[in-house]
């Protein structure tokens, strides 16, 4: 029995929808985020600030962020929203939305940007700027801290906010790079080394504003161009470089779903030997070959307590032919609960969201658990 808290990062609104061919309106995407916020999920990757030429589906992410900032979704606790971005331009666009929200509220009795607080709120001012994120660089402040629930681990950051606001929200960024040169070039038009040097000023800027940074390493268990045998030592080197640059968490991604239990084990072993702590890692599985939950089990056995998933199994990868979606959140929640883990997520509520969004975008529901739950 696994009595621990396991943190789920819901990536459906971003990873799940970014490759959908038909254009999905910003209103539907915002509604998806709002519905997810009511399921008990505490971290939601809600969109991305990438070049619209490359990923047109994410072009309206600024509107979604504005909408969330302007009218926070009702939720049972603090919610962290993450925004994926590849470069300074993306970061600047993210700041624009954040700063506009803080500017429009400053005259309205709001103490800290983005937090709708009552005028008499004792919320301490954040003198490092209007960032919504109050986390420090203390690794123990990360939600994936060992031996405790994500909620507890974050609570010292959020306590002031939570006590003073009805619907606290934190906005973080996620950056991404690849473990193979071919994928790096295809996805971000630069080499692995160039990726790291791009991130240096970006990470510094985010740190100066106390904004948490999550960093993805794509194709960690197989690459559509270079095959299944991504070098785990390369993944470890990149993870170490990203942590050194100041990343708060590394999401190790099986973009193609080629990962198997033995290779996942070998990768996690290699990361451990390289000194990467399990509490600094999240695992991001795509379920293309149906191995995502088996690989999740391997991750749990290696002490990982943060996993990414997408409601309804949404997703796919434009550079991974035949790739199906992310591990479905419903399947992950059901599995974790069966082990005795605590996720804070309401399975039925999540299943309803999965059914709703897959229906809305005219796609089959890819979550076995979601379908079974709805059929009851
Ligand atoms: P580039 O073409 O080399 O960039 O692309 P550039 O600097 O030459 O700019 C080209 C144009 O894009 C310019 O506009 C820029 O202003 C604009 P123009 O002058 O031609 O009108 N531009 C931007 N616009 C808005 N926001 C920005 C931005 N940056 C440039 N941030 C670049 C390089 C990195 C920008 C591009 O390759 C890109 O945006 N890639 C993103 C690809 C992507 O989003 N992939 C999916 C996410 S990763 C993923 O799904 C994997 C993950 O789930 C984990 C896993 O499973 O593996 C995370
Ligand atoms: Mg992905």
Average pLDDT taken over every residue of the chain: 85
Structure token pair of residue 164: 């003073």
Give residue 105's pLDDT.
59
317 is catalytic: yes
Give residue 321's pLDDT.
64
Segment 72-94, tens digit of pLDDT? 998 888 999 999 999 999 999 99
Whether residue 123 contacts residue 215, with contact meaning beta carbons closer than 8 Å, is answered with: no
Segment 164-219, tens digit of pLDDT? 444 689 999 999 999 999 999 999 999 999 999 999 999 999 999 999 999 999 99
> Residue 366's Cα: distance from chain center in Å?
20
Segment 243-299, tens digit of pLDDT? 999 999 999 999 999 999 999 999 999 999 999 999 999 999 999 999 999 999 999
CA atoms within 13 A on the CB side of 276: 31
Ligand 1, atom nearest to 326 Cα: 56
Give residue 338's pLDDT.
97
DSSP of 229-277, one letter per residue? ---HHHHHHHHHHHHHHT-SEEEEEETTS---HHHHHHHHHHHHHTT--
Q: Which of 173, 186, 197 is nearest to 98 (CA)?
A: 173
**More confidently predicted of 127 and 175:** 175
DSSP of 44-73, one letter per residue? EEEEE---TTT-GGGTTHHHHHHHHHHSPP
Give residue 2's pLDDT.
82
Ligand 1, atom nearest to 11 Cα: 53
From residue 68, alpha-carbon distances to 147, 163, 166 in Å are 32, 20, 14
Distance 85 CA to ligand 1 centre (A): 8
Average pLDDT over residues 329-344: 98
**Strands 213-218, 169-178: pairing kind:** parallel
Average pLDDT over residues 144-172: 47
Give residue 130's pLDDT.
34
Top mutation candidate among 10, 20, 51, 250 for ligand 1, by most atoms within 8 Å of CB: 51
Structure token pair of residue 343: 């996720």
Q: 23, exposed or middle or buried, with CB in 10 Å at 0-12, 13-18, 19+?
A: exposed
Which residues does ligand 1 sit against, CB inside 6 Å? Answer: 15, 18, 48-55, 84-87, 89-90, 93, 176, 187-189, 216, 218, 253, 255, 284
Q: Which of 90, 88, 141, 94 is nearest to 248 (CA)?
A: 141
From residue 150, alpha-carbon distances to 44, 99, 140, 142, 153 in Å are 14, 27, 10, 8, 5
Give residue 319's pLDDT.
62
Q: Which of 55, 60, 49 is nearest to 85 (CA)?
A: 49
Nearest 5 degrees, angle CA 132-CA 18-CA 135? 20
List 179, 317, 332, 357, catalytic entry? 317
Judge whether residue 113 has pLDDT over 80: no
Segment 17-48, tens digit of pLDDT? 999 988 999 999 999 999 999 999 999 999 99
Say how far apart CA 157 and CA 180 lie, in whole Å: 36
End-to-end Cα distance, the chain = 26
Distance 51 CA to ligand 1 centre (A): 4
Distance 216 CA to ligand 1 centre (A): 15
Judge whether residue 241 has pLDDT over 80: yes
Give residue 320's pLDDT.
60
Q: Which of 352, 349, 308, 316 is nearest to 332 (CA)?
A: 308
Give residue 167's pLDDT.
61
Nearest CA to ligand 1 atom 32: 188
Nearest CA to ligand 1 atom 17: 51
Give residue 123's pLDDT.
30
Give residue 329's pLDDT.
98
Average pLDDT over residues 111-127: 32
Q: How many DSSP H helices and E strands does the chain contain?
A: 12, 8
User: In this predicted complex, what is the ipTM?
Assistant: 0.99
Say how far apart CA 275 and CA 146 lie, in whole Å: 15
Whether residue 292 contacts residue 330, with contact meaning beta carbons closer than 8 Å, is answered with: no
Structure token pair of residue 292: 């995502």
Distance 52 CA to ligand 1 centre (A): 7
Segment 288-323, tens digit of pLDDT? 999 999 999 999 999 999 999 999 999 976 666 666
């Amino acid at each position: 029995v696994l009595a621990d808290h396991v943190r789920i990062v819901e990536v459906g609104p971003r990873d799940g929808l970014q490759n959908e061919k038909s254009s999905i309106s910003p209103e539907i995407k915002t509604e998806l985020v709002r519905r997810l916020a009511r399921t008990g999920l505490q971290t939601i990757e809600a969109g991305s600030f990438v070049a619209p030429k490359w990923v047109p589906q994410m072009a309206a992410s600024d509107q979604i962020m504005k909408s969330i900032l302007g009218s926070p979704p009702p939720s049972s606790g603090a919610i962290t929203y993450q925004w994926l971005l590849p470069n300074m331009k993306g970061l600047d666009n993210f700041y624009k939305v954040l700063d506009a929200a803080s500017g429009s509220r400053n005259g309205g009795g709001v103490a800290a940007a983005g937090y709708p607080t009552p005028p008499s709120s004792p919320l301490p001012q954040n003198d490092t700027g209007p960032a919504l994120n109050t986390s420090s660089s203390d690794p123990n402040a990360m939600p994936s801290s060992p031996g405790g629930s994500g909620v507890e681990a974050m609570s010292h950051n959020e306590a002031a906010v939570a006590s003073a606001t009805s619907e606290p929200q934190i906005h973080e960024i996620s950056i991404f790079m690849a473990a193979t040169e071919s994928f790096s070039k295809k996805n971000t038009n630069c080499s692995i080394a160039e990726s790291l040097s791009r991130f240096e000023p970006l990470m510094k800027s985010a740190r100066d504003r106390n904004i948490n940074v999550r960093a993805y390493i794509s194709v960690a268990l197989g690459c559509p161009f270079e095959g299944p045998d991504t070098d785990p030592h390369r993944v470890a080197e990149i993870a170490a470089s990203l942590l050194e640059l100041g990343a708060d968490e590394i999401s190790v991604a099986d973009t193609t779903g080629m990962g198997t239990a033995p290779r996942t084990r070998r990768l996690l072993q290699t990361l451990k030997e390289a000194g990467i702590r399990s509490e600094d890692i999240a695992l991001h599985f795509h379920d293309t070959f149906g191995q995502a939950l088996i690989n999740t089990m391997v991750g749990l056995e290696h002490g990982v307590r943060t996993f990414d998933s997408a409601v309804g199994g949404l997703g796919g990868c434009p550079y991974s032919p035949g790739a199906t979606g992310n591990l479905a959140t419903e399947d992950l929640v059901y599995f974790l609960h069966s082990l005795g883990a605590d996720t804070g997520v309401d399975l039925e509520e999540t299943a309803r969201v999965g059914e709703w969004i897959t229906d809305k975008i005219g796609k089959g529901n890819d979550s076995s658990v979601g379908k079974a739950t709805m059929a009851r």
